[in-house]
Amino acid sequence: FYDAQDQRVMVCHGDAAAITAIDPEKAEVIGKIDLGGGAEAAVLDGKGTGFVNLEAAAMVVSFDPLGLTVKQKWPITGCEKPTGLAMDASASRLFIGCRSKVLAVMDAANGKVITTLPIGERVDAVVFDAENQLIFASNGGGTVSVIRQKSPNEYESAGDIQTPKSAQTMAFDPHIKRL
């Protein structure tokens, strides 16, 4: 993923348990962040902090993408095998897709899990539509679970979108509102 604030490309390495920072202008590795576990998905808050899921450990690591250091590590209570990760930076909320068929909502300021909500099986990606306050979790079982953010501390299921089985990878275009 691209870190626009620091003008770096950041690469998550599951097997190497690290994130590598690359200078795209020079095509050179700047350094890496040792995470202590396999990195799955990462997001940035636009204020100098990044967050990454550690799948096997069921943890979120907050990190400094400029200084390439770990800030904190938090367990994801009620979650097993976190994969997808999205963020509402304005409300400081992380949305974590868990293979235990839940979406965990975490306070990005302190690592506290606010709630978990049921989603489909074999989640892969999670995206957030800030304008419409909707969270989407793509599931290999043949659905995209849709969660509505009523407030930063209140969420509800808005139903599922049917997809072909194994359709897991997902992206969201906020300009045309298309998954």
Q: What does the pLDDT read at residue 168?
A: 87
Partners of residue 63 on adjacent β-strands: 50, 70
Q: Give the whole-angstrom CA distance, residue 177 versus residue 135.
A: 12
pTM of the model: 0.95
Among candidates 104, 93, 97, 82, which has minimal Cα distance to 143?
A: 97
Per DSSP, helices labelled H in the chain are: none
pLDDT-based confidence at 60, cuts 50/70/90?
very high
Three-state DSSP state, 74: strand
pLDDT at 167 over 90: no
Q: What does the pLDDT read at residue 14?
A: 82
Query: What does pLDDT average to over the chain?
Result: 95
Average pLDDT, integer, range 146-174: 95
